[in-house]
Amino acid sequence: MLLKDKVIVVTGSTKGIGKGIATKIAEEGGTPVICGFEKDLVHDVLPNEFAEKGFEDLLIMECDVRKEEDVKAVMEATAKKYGRIDGVSANAGITDMCPFEEMTPDRFDRMISINLRGVYMADWCALPYLKKSQGKIVNTGSDCALEGWEYLTSYSAAKFGVRGLTQALAKELGKYNINVNCVCPGIIDTDMWIKTDEMLGEINHKEKGESWNEKIQAIPLGRGGLPSDLGNGVVFLFSQYADYITGCSLPVGGGSAVN
């Protein structure tokens, strides 16, 4: 088991990619701390769901990554329950797609506050604990952190920011033996992509699923990704096999980032 006895906080892990990451961490012997803003998932759904998979007594908390007090509370509760934090997967994020002229300042600010500031907040609040454990950070970027996409101006800006933050922290935190990397998902079959497909369809006047199929056809490996695919990439970056890797932006998209 690649992450035996490792305690790793995963933000935005109540569904989608984050849930896939948390599940893979648990399957590899680690202890994921799950957090998100959906109260029903946190209190009613996920405790039973993970228990049925054999992962009982996990710490599952409400958390809005825009709020310093929420993120600090997660880190404090994790340290209190488990005695340490070995890693943080700063994953929480949203999507928003529209022509640039419709990207109002409020819409832009909301994207940056969650997808960039939220990553900073998780990394910053975890740092005191990671210095003690000589732990690892894995931020969630995107194909849009490697190449900007049309109609995804705010999302691309935020994800490029995540990549820059990752590189800067890798240089600064190396003296504490903290590895800082970024995983860059391509097209992953989640609710977020369904929403993106719908928004892209509205912009380009296409049927539901048409944009998804076009993107899939352009992927060298010929399929869209699953949350578990991202989980595999994140587990690798948290594992001992990535002990000499830092500042990396790892594409996990079946070759979708190749150009």
For the segment 150-165, what is each residue's pLDDT rounded down to a tens digit?
999 999 999 999 999 9
Confidence at residue 194, expressed as pLDDT on a 0 to 100 scale: 82
For the chain, give every domain's residue range.
7-186+226-252
Which band of pLDDT confidence, cut at 50, 70 and 90, is reported for residue 259? Answer: low
SS (H, E, C) the chain: CCCCCCEEEEECCCCHHHHHHHHHHHHCCCEEEEEECCHHHHHHHHHHHHHHCCCCCCCEEECCCCCHHHHHHHHHHHHHHHCCCCEEEECCCCCCCCCHHHCCHHHHHHHHHHHCHHHHHHHHHHHHHHHHHCCEEEEECCHHHCCCCCCCHHHHHHHHHHHHHHHHHHHHHHHHCCEEEEEEECCECCHHHHHHHHHHHHHHCCCCCHHHHHHHHCCCCCCCECHHHHHHHHHHHHCHHHCCCCCCEEEECCCCCCC
Q: Considering the candidates 159, 195, 208, 244, report the single residue annotated as catalytic.
A: 159
140, 91 Cβ separation under 8 angstroms: yes
Catalytic residue check, 155: yes
For the segment 156-208, what is each residue's pLDDT rounded down to a tens digit?
999 999 999 999 999 999 999 999 999 999 999 988 888 888 888 888 888 88
Confidence at residue 204, expressed as pLDDT on a 0 to 100 scale: 81
For the segment 106-160, what is each residue's pLDDT rounded down to a tens digit?
999 999 999 999 999 999 999 999 999 999 999 999 999 999 999 999 999 999 9
Report the CATH fold assignment for 7-186+226-252. Rossmann fold (3.40.50)
| pTM summary value | 0.95
How does the average pLDDT of the chain come out, rounded?
Answer: 95
pLDDT over threshold 90, residue 212: no
pLDDT above 90 covers a percentage of the chain that reads 86
Confidence at residue 213, expressed as pLDDT on a 0 to 100 scale: 87
Query: Which pair of tokens denotes residue 19?
Result: 């849930």
When pLDDT is averaged across residues 44-60 and rounded to a whole number, the result is 93
Task: Give the C-alpha distances (Å, rounded to integers) separating 67 from 13, 108, 160.
Answer: 16, 18, 22
For the segment 81-105, what is each residue's pLDDT rounded down to a tens digit?
999 999 999 999 999 999 999 999 9
Q: Considering the candidates 24, 129, 155, 215, report the single residue annotated as catalytic.
A: 155
Which band of pLDDT confidence, cut at 50, 70 and 90, is reported for residue 257? Answer: confident
Catalytic residue check, 159: yes
Alpha carbons 108 and 104: distance in angstroms, whole number: 6
Confidence at residue 206, expressed as pLDDT on a 0 to 100 scale: 82
